[in-house]
Amino acid sequence: MKIGFALPSLGHLAGPASLVKVAQRAEALGYDSLWTGERLLAPLRPQVPYRGTPDGSLPESFRRALDPLETLVFVAAHTNKVHLGTSVINIPYYNPVMLARQLTTVDVLSNGRLCVGLGLAWNKDEMDATGADMKQRGAVADEFLEVLKALWTTNPVEFQGKFFRVPRSYVDLKPVQKPHPPIYMAAFAPPAMKRMAVMTDGWNPTMIPIPGMAQMFAGAQQMAKDAGRDPESLGMIVRANVGLADRPLGSDRKIFHGTWEQIKQDFDGCRKIGASEVFFDPTFSPGVDSLDQWFALMERVRALA
């Protein structure tokens, strides 16, 4: 099972020096991948509570966020082999033709190191700010994925749908990875799980207990099989939002929260249920406020894995 780590692209550590140091340390430690996330706004009165905090409040790190793809291009120029992923880019905020070119550029400039993590977004305030429609986001996502694949795999390309139209055109710039960079979806609801199983390369879950992930992934593999796909081709990259504790937490603890022993249990559990990769994100972890603490956690996680 592969192991990855988040880049400091959110919060007060987000900046060029930190990105270079973390990326190069990750390569030196033998990490397989580095990851960015996406945030646009930190609304004062959120319309939708945040799932990661007890009271639904937004983390302070949401107030400072680098663009995920431009961050990966920058990091690609300072690394040689580590893979570069997004967890996640929110489909409703983008136009697929523009995003296809951005993603292709990252894959070309990194020499084929991109992993594309996509989601449907949950932040109603961000969706309002970008003109996205919460009610249409599932149907939009179906066409969005079709447009991405068409732009990546055909030339000339043409697409006519309900939401997007591409006139018959030449697009010579194609990804290094064939047929295209791997696409992983963050999904929870049954329709989203089916979309992931039928249209993408795998699942990018977070904050789901091990038994729940096992059950949901087995269901997704069955959906893939029913659609005529090889269920074994479906991957699972788990996002581990780390929360360290000095003492063991109880049975109601969140996954990857607790002592190092408990975090290792979760890591081993992901391996047992068939995860192809786990990447650790300390962005919201108490006690990880400096670059030195970020490095210390990277080294401890690498040793644990």
Q: Domain extents for the chain?
A: 2-304
**For residue range 133-161, what is the model confidence (pLDDT) as tens digits?**
999 999 999 999 999 999 999 999 999 99
pLDDT reported for residue 305:
82
pLDDT reported for residue 56:
84
State how far the Cα of 182 lies from the Cα of 169, in Å rounded to an integer.
24
Residue 179 in this model has a pLDDT that exceeds 90: yes
Alpha helices, DSSP H only, in 156-283? 190-199, 210-226, 260-272
- Global pTM reads 0.95
State how far the Cα of 248 lies from the Cα of 53, in Å rounded to an integer.
19
How is domain 2-304 classified at the CATH fold level? TIM Barrel (3.20.20)
DSSP notation for 75-138: HHTT-SS-EEEES-EEGGGS-HHHHHHHHHHHHHHTTS-EEEEEE----HHHHHHHT--GGGHH
> How far is residue 139 CA from its own chain's centroid?
21
**For residue range 187-246, what is the model confidence (pLDDT) as tens digits?**
999 999 999 999 999 999 999 999 999 999 999 999 999 999 999 999 999 999 999 999
CA–CA–CA angle 63, 134, 151 (5° rounding): 90
